[in-house]
Chain A
Amino acid sequence: MDASNTIAAPAQRRSGRVRQGRRIADRTLRIACSGATLVGALVLGSILVMLIVQGVRGFTPTLFTNPTPGPGSEGGGIANAILGSLILTGIGILIATPIGVMAGTYLAEYGRGSKLAALIRFLNDILLSAPSILIGLFVYTLMVRPMGTYSGWAGGVALAIIAVPVIVRTTEDMLRLVPGTLREAGAALGAPTSTVIMSVSWRAASAGIVTGIILALARIAGETAPLLFTALNNNSWFSANLLGGVANLPVMIYQFALSPYPNWQGLAWAGALLITATILALSIIARLVIKPHASR
């Protein structure tokens, strides 16, 4: 900064001052922008450090073999919550995948110019960012109240509703990248539209569609709010009864982290580390899958 003063010749002093103002503005921008990025990276780092420091202590074999202990008692694990989470996200993704892929196929292949498709595309985008707690309330009214009990099925349906718009969006985007000439080539062989879509469009877009499903999985794996009113929790060992409350990691973390028992809090941290590591791994995998596809 001093250098600019000494370099500016006396005759150019006025323009030099202007130039210095520009330089200060420029430098401020550079520092501010780098600072913002640094803050973002620091927050991510801080979250990861916190999870590792607090959660690693709980990573014992019993964590994966024992169910959650009762209030105030020692020991135990989170095996029932892990299994419940696997089952709930499994149900969610199994329901959401066919619906999402088919709806995305409709938007990309059949409904390109139609007004209905445009409306559905728009509503799908809205649903994509809709507060998940509202989806929880919807499934509560739809399933929990009529059935009279919190249930694993309701939890799975709630997660499916969150996953569908993600899959619809990526499927449509990926199918749109498939060149029309490929479809024409298939149609010229006399193949019906459905065959063209299934064996030409889907095949060409398969990597992208799989990415969408992985992203949807990552999205629903950590969802808590809708499960509070649907699957809730179940502290006993998993009973394979999807018609009752089912233990799951997010709700377990929520309840245990805010509990007054150190043992429960420790289990919550271990669960938090486990779920965050899983989701970050899924997101990274999804990004690696999509990369060769996008560059093609």
Chain B
Amino acid sequence: MPALTESIALGRTRAASARKAPSRSLDTLFRTCSYGAALLVLLVLAGILGSILYGGWPAFREFGFGFLTSSAWNVGTEQYGALVAVLGTVASAFLALLIGVPVSLGIAVYLTQLCPGWARKPVAMTIELLAAVPSIIYGMWGLFVFAPLFARFVQIPVSNLVEGMPIVGTLFYARVPSGVGVFTAGIILAIMIVPFIASIARDMLDQIPTVLRESAYGIGCTTWEVVRHVLVPQAAVSIIGAIMLGLGRALGETMAVTFVVGNANRLSASIFDPSSTIASRIANEFNEADGLQLNALMALGCILFVITFVVLIIARLLTRRVQSA
């Protein structure tokens, strides 16, 4: 059946292909190779899931559902729970979206609506280069440049301000104002996802027909009104897809977070306190881990797999639907 569609697509008759017998076997070989390479992609994804499930299974069997709800992480007593790492992952990714989304949309609007023509390319390139910087460099920047400034000018004043207050006091009080913690991780992640969301959102805004924009300006709309009433409704679904894509990246980001999250195992209600994420804990402990600890880390990987892949699938469905529409 595929062979038929292929020969139709190429406008080739069966007689013509039958005439060239020797090159036909080459043809089949080429086709098989490309088919096999494509299937490999499928196999790799299945292999990732399979290997992590296999590695994590002993931990799931040992702790059962309690693995998800326990905040223990004690190598000496072999008690492991995922709660601290899962909460750290979710909290830092959520903060990243909270900070990163408005900034990326602002950049997308600036690039498509406000930026003068001559500056458009260099500015777009600057933002896209942010995506090319390796995550370990973000980690170093976060730890050595950003964290000290953040501790001095934000954490210490805010901690002094909110100390003893209910709710706000617990949420924003830093026991050790060293600049590292969940909030810092969120900011670094925000910087890392901005170029992705901004470039997809810019592409989406660019695809909106100019006529729509011009007619809105023609009846006297301001830029704000054009953005609010014409562009945003048009591109909303795909922008949400782009945001989910950014969320997927924020959840799985490892090196940058490992530098700035503080890598603490303790459960804390304050977003200024050090914590850990799934990825940072795996990166930190994997090489020294053995036995059940290794299984517990693999089980953490399983949870990360499930969370990110659900998010990424939703993201791809949203962005793809727009592309085909």
Contact = CB atoms under 8 A, between A and B. Distances in A.
A228 B287 contact: yes
A165 B51 contact: no
Find the residue from A198, A250, A282 having the highest chain B CB count within 10 A: A250
B134 A275 contact: yes
Question: Contact residue range for chain B?
Answer: 35 or more
B45 A123 contact: yes
B106 interface: yes
A79 B44 CA distance: 33
Given A22-B224, A25-B224, A192-B20, A132 B41 contact: no
B114 A30 contact: yes
B45 A193 contact: no
B292 interface: no
Contacts of B312: 126, 129-130
Interface string A242-281: 0000000010011001100000000011001001100110
Contacts of B320: 122, 125
Contact of A137 (B52, B110, B287): B52
Interface string A202-227: 00000000000000001001111100
A154 interface: no
B111 A37 contact: yes
B153 interface: no
A105 to B, nearest CB: 5
Contact of B223 (A26, A133, A218, A284): A26
B308 interface: yes
B117 to A, nearest CB: 15
B103 A250 contact: no
Contacts, number: 283
Given A131-B308, A276-B133, A228 B141 contact: no
Contact of B287 (A109, A111, A125, A229): A229
A194 B134 contact: no
Contacts of A161: 44
B11 A187 contact: yes
Contact of B279 (A41, A105, A225): A225
A60 to B, nearest CB: 20
A135 interface: yes
Given A26-B224, A29-B109, A102 B37 contact: yes
B160 interface: no
Given A257-B140, A283-B129, A30 B37 contact: no
A275 B106 CA distance: 30
Contacts of A9: none
Question: Contact residue range for chain A?
Answer: 35 or more
Contacts of A120: 38-39, 41-42
Contacts of B39: 120
B103 A36 contact: yes
20 contacts: A33-B110, A36-B110, A37-B127, A41-B123, A41-B126, A44-B127, A46-B141, A119-B42, A126-B309, A130-B308, A134-B305, A137-B52, A137-B301, A142-B47, A180-B9, A194-B27, A194-B30, A229-B287, A276-B134, A280-B129
Interface of B: 2, 5-7, 9-12, 16-17, 19-20, 23-24, 26-27, 29-31, 33-42, 44-45, 47-48, 51-52, 54-55, 102-107, 109-111, 113-115, 123, 125-130, 132-141, 143-145, 191, 194-195, 198, 222-225, 227, 245, 248-249, 251-255, 259, 279, 282-283, 286-287, 298, 301, 304-305, 308-309, 312-313, 315-316, 320
Q: Would you list the 7 A-B pairs with minimal beta carbon distance, nearest first? A: A131-B252, A222-B134, A36-B106, A194-B30, A102-B37, A141-B51, A106-B34
